[in-house]
Amino acid sequence: MMTDHVDVRPATQSDCHDLAEIHALAWYGAYQGLLQGVELQRLVARRTADWWQGALHRGVNITVLEVLGKPAGYATFGTSRLSALPEGGEIYELYIRPDHQGLGFGRQLFLAVRKDLAARQPHNGLAVQVLSENQPARNFYRALGGKLAASSSYRSGDTTHDLSIYAWPGDTR
């Protein structure tokens, strides 16, 4: 894993075009064949640079992983939306450009966001939701120590997909 030219930092308005591109590439790579084609296209198409600018304006926590000065991945995160779990933080999205996957960048981004969440919400832990059909994502989060904590579902078009929820409990001091 190359780390000399990698930076993990908060997103800025100048990242919005890159965020839209990363989102599209990563979503097509991850979800083609799992989500219906038209639904996948609709979900990708709505995440324009303007959408990302609005997200930053609304205060969404977005962290960018930059390789050699170019954004190669991002994560969005904040307070957990999963009220049934004790974990107080949640990573909503974590995506790496397909041509940068498998090189340790996802792990680096995850650990940076986990550290940021721990600083904001000490001892609360975090959770992540993934499509159960997305085996690479499930393997990734298990390799990072995530434990299957719950399940849910997601409706896409006229199809319901199972979600697997992985958790990293907080420090119980």
Instruction: Note down the domain range covering 22.
Output: 6-168
Beta-bridge partner residues of 70:
67
> Does residue 103 fall inside a structural domain?
yes
Residue 19 phi, psi dihedral angles, 5° rounding: -60, -40
pTM for the model: 0.92
Domain count of the chain?
Answer: 1
> Does residue 1 fall inside a structural domain?
no
> Does residue 47 fall inside a structural domain?
yes
Buried b or exposed e, range 13-36, using 16+ CB within 10 angstroms:
eebbebbbebbbbbbeebbeeebe
| Dist. CA 45–CA 65, nearest whole Å | 22
- Cβ(90)–Cβ(47) under 8 Å? no
Average pLDDT over residues 59-66: 97
Q: pLDDT of 3-18, one tens digit each?
A: 569 999 999 999 999 9
- CATH classification of the domain holding 86: 3.40.630.30
